[in-house]
Amino acid sequence: MTRPFVLDSTQLWVHLSRLPLVASGRSLHRAALQALTRGRLEEAWTLFERGAARYRAQLQIEPLARLRVHQLIARVRAGLSHHEESALALEVDRRLARLERIESLEPPFELVDARRLLATWQSSPMAAPESPTDRIEGRAAA
């Protein structure tokens, strides 16, 4: 059974993520997903990047790959042009097809079969961005 997400403030996680011994890659990844579900795209992006740095430092390749898929999903949902959105959506599908499991897009972000997310990610709800400046369209997720 998965424990509930205790520290629910994504802003708190942004600050905690600066302390290397406090926040794990997994915690930052989940905090980024929480920010994404609330439409806080800039916070989500910051948390995704810090989570990725932790995963890389600990050589956690599969969790890093899952995080990068979520990051691409965030970019697709950030209000890109139709052409950019289509190209990124194809990349999300391609990467999901290579994974076995991935965190769901809804709390509590449990691991699910990647094929299930592949079939549903484009129809999963997400809050609208909180502000017009809360866009991540110019950033790359590799």
Q: Which residue range(s) make up the domain with 40?
A: 21-118
DSSP letter for each residue of 14-59:
HHHTTSTTT--HHHHHHHHHHHHHTT-HHHHHHHHHHHHHHHHHTT
Query: What are the structure tokens assigned to 137, written together?
Result: 């369209």
Provide the number of structural domains found in the chain.
Answer: 1
Q: What is the pLDDT of residue 81?
A: 83
Query: In this predicted structure, what is the pLDDT of residue 142?
Result: 46
pLDDT value of position 82: 86
Residue type, 93: D
- Give the C-alpha separation, 35 to 9, whole Å: 9
For the chain, which ranges sit under pLDDT 70? 1-21, 126-142
Q: Is residue 78 part of a domain?
A: yes
Question: From CA 106, how far away is CA 47, in angstroms rounded?
Answer: 17
Q: Which two tokens stand for residue 122?
A: 């484009």
